[in-house]
Amino acid sequence: MTRASARLATERTQPAVGRPRTRISVLRSDWPLMLRTTSPLGATPVTAWAGRTSGPACVHVAAGAAGPLGGDRLALDVHVGPSSALLLGEVAPTLLLPGTYGEESRLDIRIRVGTGAALAWLPELVIAGRGCRHVTDIRVVLEAGARLVLREEVLFGRHGEAPGAYRQRVRVETEHGPVYDQELGVGPAAIGWNGPAVTVGRRTAGTLIAVDPDLANDGAPPAALCAHDTAVMALPGGGVLVSTLASETTALRRQLDHAMAHLLTRTAEQGPAAPHREPARHVSR
């Protein structure tokens, strides 16, 4: 049984020459959650989107050991400071495995994106191995003018095996209330999980959440994203949800990559995001 808690925080800095940049102010790993700064990605829609107000920092989570295993309790706390930008990813897929005594493993992720900041959280595939008992709970709080891209992908068991018990909840909220709150349960404890109301017998599921004020007045979700086994829905306050199913992981990633590129290119066409400013206050005399 392992207990670990890792922390990551960023802040915006203004060099003497050039545009604002993002500095990593806190980087604390806790085995097996190892945080590593990485070189900026090439010119992609997500890097262009994240860097509209500040040059983004790039960090990846590397697993220092197999798992999570049954009984593990892991936590990751992320704070993206005001007007900064962070690209957060993972080095490799996560394989959930059972522990010796059949205990439940748990991963809690708490994210706060400050005023006018941007976060792209793009973890790798999660594989719910046979016999696992796992819960992932992701909570994201967006302050005024904050932007978010969050992608998650799940494979239900390795090749030729049924998945273990896996539950995941993702909640995104702003100052005006919840924007997205969804829970997915698969495996022996989730009756009907592979039926027509949930996964329709597909082997993988994925979600893309894009929250950006520039999407608020963008009309209905684009028809270009509507594909087989894919649902596209508008989120309140400026955002889009893309939820898709597939028989294998390559097709799933292809559809989510296409959706992400399409959405982020549309927001980039509207120009750099204006820095968020607090409304003026009237002072009576």
Q: Please report the pLDDT score of residue 39 as a whole number.
A: 84
Taking a C-beta distance cutoff of 8 angstroms, is the pair 110, 76 a contact?
Answer: yes
> In which domain, by residue range, is 144 found?
3-207
Predicted TM-score (pTM) of this structure? 0.89
Taking a C-beta distance cutoff of 8 angstroms, is the pair 59, 25 a contact?
Answer: no
Please check whether residue 247 lies inside any domain of the structure. no
Measured CA to CA, the distance from residue 1 to residue 145 in angstroms comes to 40
CA-closest candidate to residue 226, choices 192, 197, 258? 258
Please check whether residue 243 lies inside any domain of the structure. no
Please check whether residue 241 lies inside any domain of the structure. no
CA-closest candidate to residue 249, choices 182, 171, 123, 154? 154
Q: Please report the pLDDT score of residue 82 as a whole number.
A: 97
Q: Please report the pLDDT score of residue 269 as a whole number.
A: 56
Q: Please report the pLDDT score of residue 113 as a whole number.
A: 98
Q: Please report the pLDDT score of residue 16 as a whole number.
A: 82
Q: Please report the pLDDT score of residue 219 as a whole number.
A: 57
Q: Please report the pLDDT score of residue 13 as a whole number.
A: 95
Please check whether residue 239 lies inside any domain of the structure. no
Non-local CB neighbours of 163 within 8 Å, separated by 6+ positions = 128, 129, 130, 132, 156, 157, 186, 187
Please check whether residue 128 lies inside any domain of the structure. yes
Please check whether residue 272 lies inside any domain of the structure. no
Q: Residues 156-182: pLDDT tens digits? A: 999 989 999 999 999 999 988 999 999
Q: Please report the pLDDT score of residue 43 as a whole number.
A: 80
Paired tokens of 214: 């520039």
Please check whether residue 165 lies inside any domain of the structure. yes
Measured CA to CA, the distance from residue 165 to residue 104 in angstroms comes to 9
Residue 244 φ/ψ region, left for φ over 0, alpha for ψ in the -120 to 50 degree band, beta for the rest: beta
**Ranges of the chain with pLDDT below 50:** 274-285
Q: Please report the pLDDT score of residue 277 as a whole number.
A: 47
Please check whether residue 62 lies inside any domain of the structure. yes
Q: Please report the pLDDT score of residue 282 as a whole number.
A: 43
**Domain total of the chain:** 1
Q: Which H helix or E strand runs over 251?
A: helix 249-268
